[in-house]
Amino acid sequence: MIGKQRYFLKSIKKYISRRFYRNISNMPVDDKKSKYAKDKIKEIKSKKESNVNNKPQFKNYNCFLPDYEGDIKVCMIGGGESLIYAAVLLKQFRLIKRIHVVDANDSLANAILDISHIDTSSRIKHFKRKHLKEALKEINIIALMDETNPNIELNPTAQFKAASSYVSEMAEQMAQLSSESLVAVFTRPVTATLPMVSEIYKLAGWWDPDRIIGSIACDRMRMEALTANLLDLNPAFLSVPMVGGADLNTIVPLLSCASPINQFTNVQQEMLLRSLRSADRKMKNIEFKGSVLSDGAAAAKLILALAEGLSGYKNVISSVYARSNVLPGCRYFTTELQFGQGGIQKNFGLPKMSATEVVLLEQAIPSINKYIAMGLKAIHTNRYITLKIV
Question: Does residue 185 contact residue 213 with C-beta atoms inside 8 Å?
Answer: yes
Beta strands in the chain (DSSP E): 72-78, 96-103, 123-128, 141-144, 182-185, 212-214, 242-244, 251-253, 316-327, 330-340, 343-347
Rounded to the nearest 5 percent, the helix, strand and coil shares of the chain are 50, 15, 30
Q: At what angle do helices 190-204 and 355-380 cross, to 10 degrees?
A: 50
Q: How far apart are CA 375 and CA 366, in angstroms?
A: 15
Q: At what angle do helices 266-277 and 217-231 cross, to 10 degrees?
A: 140
Q: Is the dihedral of CA 194, 197, 203, 205 positive or negative?
A: negative
Question: Does residue 294 contact residue 324 with C-beta atoms inside 8 Å?
Answer: no
Please tell me the predicted confidence (pLDDT) of residue 43.
61
Which residue segments constitute the domains of the chain, with CATH numbers given? 68-216 (3.40.50.720), 217-372 (3.90.110.10)
Across the chain, which has 390 residues, the per-10-residue mean pLDDT values are 51 47 44 52 53 38 48 96 96 96 95 96 96 96 94 87 95 95 97 97 94 97 95 92 95 95 92 90 64 92 96 93 93 97 95 95 96 93 48
Closest CA to 100 of 178, 167, 169: 178
Q: How far apart are CA 119 and CA 108, in angstroms?
A: 20
Please tell me the predicted confidence (pLDDT) of residue 40.
53
Question: Does residue 103 contact residue 79 with C-beta atoms inside 8 Å?
Answer: yes
Please tell me the predicted confidence (pLDDT) of residue 373.
96
Question: Does residue 162 contact residue 154 with C-beta atoms inside 8 Å?
Answer: yes
Alpha carbon of 312 to those of 61, 347, 378: distances in Å?
12, 18, 37
Q: How far apart are CA 368 and CA 251, in angstroms?
A: 9
Grouping H, G, I as helix, E, B as strand and the rest as coil, residue 166 is helix
Please tell me the predicted confidence (pLDDT) of residue 63.
40
Q: How many whole angstroms from its chain centre is CA 198?
A: 19
